[in-house]
Amino acid sequence: MRLRAVAALCTILFLAGCDSSIDRQRITTCRRTLPALVASDLNPRLLHVGRGSAPESVRVDYALGNRQHRIDCLFESGAGLSAIRLDHKAITGGALFMLKRYYLDTPDAEASDPASPR
C-alpha cells in the first residue's frame, strides 16, 4: 500500500513539473512574438507577461509611449502556438505560419527576446 502512495505522489509531482515546463515554454514563445509584431523603432516596452484569461493562453502587456497594448497567445494542449490576437484583433493564418516557421525558433528570436538582458 505504501508503495502505491509513493508512486501516486511521484506521478503527481511529475505532472506538475510538466505543466510548469509547458507554462514556461508558452510564456517564452508569446513574449518572443513582441519584436516580430511591433517595429523596434517604436520602442515597445515590456510591462507584464502571464496567464491569459482563456484556458491555454498567455498575455503580454507592453507599452508604446504612454499607450498600453497587449498580445494574447492561444496554445494547443501542449506548447504549440495556435493563434495570436494583437490588441484583440486576430493575426491571419498566413502571418502566424510565417512567424512560427521562420522566426520563433531562430537565434534571432532568442536574441531579441524582450526579457533577455542587453
Q: What is the predicted pLDDT for the residue at 16?
A: 40
Q: What is the predicted pLDDT for the residue at 20?
A: 85
Q: What is the predicted pLDDT for the residue at 42?
A: 93
Q: What is the predicted pLDDT for the residue at 118?
A: 58
Kindly report, residue by residue over 58-111, the tens digit of the pLDDT. Answer: 999 999 999 999 999 999 988 999 999 999 999 999 999 999 999 999 999 999
How far apart, in whole angstroms, are the C-alpha atoms of residue 26 and residue 56?
A: 9
Backbone angles phi, psi at 85, to 5 degrees: -120, 130
* Ranges of each domain in the chain: 24-111
pLDDT exceeds cutoff 50 at 11: no
Q: Which residues of 6-40 are buried (b: 16+ CB within 10 A; e: fewer)?
A: eeeeeeeeeeeeeeeeeeebbbbbbbbbbbbbbee
Kindly report, residue by residue over 27-58, the tens digit of the pLDDT. Answer: 999 999 999 999 989 999 999 999 998 989 99
The listed CATH number (3.10.20, 2.60.40, 1.20.1300, 3.30.310) that belongs to domain 24-111: 3.30.310
Q: Which of 4-8, 20-24, 66-70, 92-96 has the lowest mean pLDDT?
A: 4-8
More confident residue, 28 or 3: 28
How far apart, in whole angstroms, are the C-alpha atoms of residue 55 and residue 48?
A: 18
Q: Are strands 57-64 and 67-75 parallel, antiparallel or unpaired?
A: antiparallel
